[in-house]
Amino acid sequence: MNKFLIVGLGNIGNEYAHTRHNIGFDVVMAFVRKHGGSLETGRLAYKAEVRWKGRIFVCICPTTYMNRSGAAVKYWMDKEKVAIENVLVILDDLALPLSKLRLRPSGSDAGHNGLRDIQAVLGSQAYPRLRFGIGNDFPKGRQADFVLSKWLPDEEPVVMKKIEKCVEIIESVATVGLGGTMTAVNNLDFGS
């Protein structure tokens, strides 16, 4: 049976819930909910295990805070014996407009502290990641305030559509494969 580790990046605490920086948590929660699971407190993360179409999805939202996500990813990879190519990290991306998603098999951290820590702990960049564009409409020097802010009312419909699509992308990566899924995903435009 194929096993996947689905990692949603974010920060714990009510003040961070449903902010741009926590979109990884929101996607993982939507995936788990769709498949009838529920996140429970586990070591270094909230964790759920769901089964779908002969696959096992170990889904985690690290409770280590964003810049220490690597410890949780490594722990659950080792504990569940998940190969690095079957890890999918979902994160926010300032460099992408809100209308875009980007699926990649590997790559740099692009300044994202969560990815930076995962790559440092794993000693590799060779794990798939799904980048959720959050835009970059903020005044100079206000990046932290922007990423930790909630979505604007006019952005919410696009965000909800993208979350639904991300759930489908997770399913597609596990069934169709990364290559076929990337071709379809990277050309999508959710128009904002």
What's the CA gap between 156 and 109, in Å, rounded?
26
DSSP 80-113: HT--GGGEEEEEEETTS-TT-EEEESS---TT-H
At residue 7, what is the residue type? V
Indicate which residue of 18, 21, 35, 112 is catalytic: 21
Q: Is 21 a catalytic residue?
A: yes
Angle (deg, nearest 10), helices 156-175 and 23-34? 60
What's the CA gap between 126 and 104, in Å, rounded?
10
Residues 6+ apart with CB under 8 A from 75: 43, 44, 45
Contact 4, 48 (CB under 8 A): no
Nearest to 32, CA basis, from 170, 136, 143, 142: 170
Catalytic residue positions, numbered: 21
